């Protein structure tokens, strides 16, 4: 019986309850999904009907012991595996450092990707460089894969004079056009149907570009989610629609986002091939994304993917999840930790060691510290220098209209 069915009924309607609260023991059902369970359909001919099992099962490559197997094994080179591991570690260490800076007042706000590092890293690595990335605030890791400098990312987070968005957005709301990484927007969900339009434009122009976008389980309750899936169903553009089901939208459990437990299956009645994938399995994420890209590039249209994971950290630096869920809940998540799992796999195939891992972490920590030191030479949010106040008035329109010009003059800066 699923959690949703266990809810207490009241007179006439049900208010869902989270599976466990502070002080209670976590009660995740153990997984009975194995890498051999699901076949890999032909991306060039696959229909939604061919994926009904995939939408209710779980695409995995790495088993609980870190052994890769099954049709979905992308058979990546050890070099690529190490690169993936390095980027994931880079993101985690970067996040840790930024969070500390937030706690000391150097940043106004921060959002970590803790426990979800594999998503942005593996999926971006599986795509081509020209492909469009339309992220939420939980996929900043894409930028490491696309080569953005860490200094530039920190400049944005601390809103200094070198911030490429000129101090206009909260931290983590990155824009990185050179990496085809589209500007992050706070109203969650809006990017999902926008990505369908981006993909339609690529297809119209004949560009060899696929668009990937992500949305959270919480935001999948917005109309935007349904606009996107429906427009993708109707127009069949080269788009990959990912629902990151990390169980929590701040304190709202995913059972408020949908009356059913399964998010992947919502793509099936729209006629879109739909998959549920282990979101902490780097190899499975890589493989499903490669598959969806091949399908999109061959003109077969969209793929809908639920990425099953757990938000290990707080929603943001302003959130304290121990107020609404057990503080150690993430330790019981059946999917484990994405970094540990890839590391275990690499060690098991003789391509990595604990010593190498410690060295890597040391190297990355130094990289982050050096980047931070360099970034603050351009100022920080607490002390400045900040972008000039005139940037309030510029780029509202292509050219400054008279009424905004007058207000700029009124400010006198």
Partner 1 sequence: MAYSRAKRGVRKVGVMMVEMNMIQSLNSALDNMLESDDNVLIFGEDVGYFGGVFRVTDGLQEKYGKKRVFDSPLSEGGIAAIAFGMGLNGLRPVMEIQFADYIFPAYDQIVNEMAKLRHRSGGEFSTPVTIRTPAGGGIKGGHHHSQSPESQFTHTPGIKVLYCSNPYNAKGLLISAIECNDPVVFFEPKRCYRGPFYGDPHNVPTWKGHQYSDVPEEHYTVPIGQANLVMEGDECTVIAWGAMVHVAEQGIRDSGISCDLIDLQSLVPWDREAVVNSVKKTGRCVIVHEAPKTSGFGAEMSASIQERCFYHLENPIERVTGWDTPFPHSTEWDYLPSPDRISEAIKRTQED
Instruction: Provide the binding-site residues for partner 1, judged by CB under 8 A.
Output: 132, 163-166, 168-169, 173, 175-177, 182-183, 185, 187, 190, 192-202, 204-205, 211, 223-224, 227-228, 230-231, 234, 394-398, 401-404
CB of 122 to partner 1, least distance (A): 24
Indicate if 315 belongs to the active site. yes
The answer to whether 125 touches 145, Cβ cutoff 8 Å, is yes
**Rounded Cα distance, 172 and 136, in Å:** 9
Indicate if 397 belongs to the active site. no
CA distances from 250 to 79, 117, 196, 224, 338 (A): 37, 18, 27, 19, 21
CB closer to partner 1, 32 vs 398: 398
CB closer to partner 1, 78 vs 396: 396
Of 324, 332, 357, 378, which residue is the catalytic one? 324
Of 97, 173, 315, 345, which residue is the catalytic one? 315
CB closer to partner 1, 271 vs 336: 271
CB of 388 to partner 1, least distance (A): 13
Indicate if 286 belongs to the active site. no
Structure tokens, 275: 């998959």
Nearest alpha-carbon partner for 244 in 200, 189, 283: 189
Per DSSP (E only), the strands in 209-347 are: 211-216, 239-245, 248-249, 252-253, 274-278, 303-308
Strand partners, 214: 242
DSSP-derived secondary structure for 300-328:
---EEEEEE----S-SSTT--GGGTS-TT
**Rounded Cα distance, 80 and 75, in Å:** 10
CB of 23 to partner 1, least distance (A): 38
CB closer to partner 1, 34 vs 168: 168
CB closer to partner 1, 175 vs 262: 175
CB of 365 to partner 1, least distance (A): 29
Per DSSP (E only), the strands in 292-407 are: 303-308
CB of 277 to partner 1, least distance (A): 24
Of 54, 304, 311, 330, which residue is the catalytic one? 311
| Catalytic residue positions, numbered | 311, 315, 324
């Amino acid at each position: 019986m699923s959690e949703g069915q266990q809810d207490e009924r009241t007179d006439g309607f049900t208010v869902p309850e989270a599976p466990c609260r502070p002080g209670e023991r976590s009660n995740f059902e153990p997984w009975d999904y194995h890498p051999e369970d699901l076949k890999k359909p032909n991306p060039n001919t696959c229909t939604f009907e061919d994926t009904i099992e995939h939408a209710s099962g779980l695409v995995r490559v790495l088993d609980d012991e870190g052994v890769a197997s099954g049709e979905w094994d992308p058979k990546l080179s050890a070099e690529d595996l190490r690169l993936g591991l390095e980027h994931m570690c880079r993101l985690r260490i970067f996040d840790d450092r930024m969070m500390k800076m937030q706690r000391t007042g150097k940043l106004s706000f921060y959002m970590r990707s803790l426990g979800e590092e594999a998503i942005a890293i593996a999926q971006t690595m599986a795509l081509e460089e020209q492909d469009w990335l339309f992220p939420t605030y939980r996929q900043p890791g894409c930028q490491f894969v696309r080569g953005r400098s860490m200094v530039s990312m920190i400049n944005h987070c601390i809103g200094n004079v070198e911030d490429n968005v000129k101090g206009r957005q909260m931290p983590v709301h990155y824009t990185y056009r050179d990496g085809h990484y589209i500007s992050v927007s706070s109203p969650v969900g809006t990017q999902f149907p926008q990505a369908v339009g981006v993909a339609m434009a690529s297809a119209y122009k004949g560009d060899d570009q696929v668009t990937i976008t992500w949305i959270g389980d919480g935001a999948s309750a917005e109309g935007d989610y349904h606009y996107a899936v429906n427009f993708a169903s109707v127009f069949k553009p080269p788009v990959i629609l990912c629902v990151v089901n990390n169980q929590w939208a701040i304190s709202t459990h995913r059972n408020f986002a949908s009356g059913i437990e399964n998010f992947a299956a919502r793509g099936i009645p729209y006629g879109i091939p739909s998959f549920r994938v282990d979101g902490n399995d780097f190899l499975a994420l890589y493989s499903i994304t490669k598959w969806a890209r091949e399908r999109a590039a061959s003109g077969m249209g969209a793929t809908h993917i639920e990425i099953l994971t757990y938000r290990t950290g707080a929603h943001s630096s302003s959130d304290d999840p121990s107020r609404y869920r057990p503080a150690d809940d993430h330790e019981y998540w059946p999917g484990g930790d994405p970094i540990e799992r890839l590391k275990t796999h690499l060690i098991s195939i003789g391509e990595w060691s604990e010593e190498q891992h410690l060295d890597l972490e040391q190297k990355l920590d130094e990289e982050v510290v050096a980047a931070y030191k360099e970034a603050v030479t351009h100022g920080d949010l607490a002390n400045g220098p900040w972008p000039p106040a005139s940037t309030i008035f510029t780029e509202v329109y292509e050219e400054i209209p008279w009424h905004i010009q007058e207000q700029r003059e009124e400010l006198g800066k």
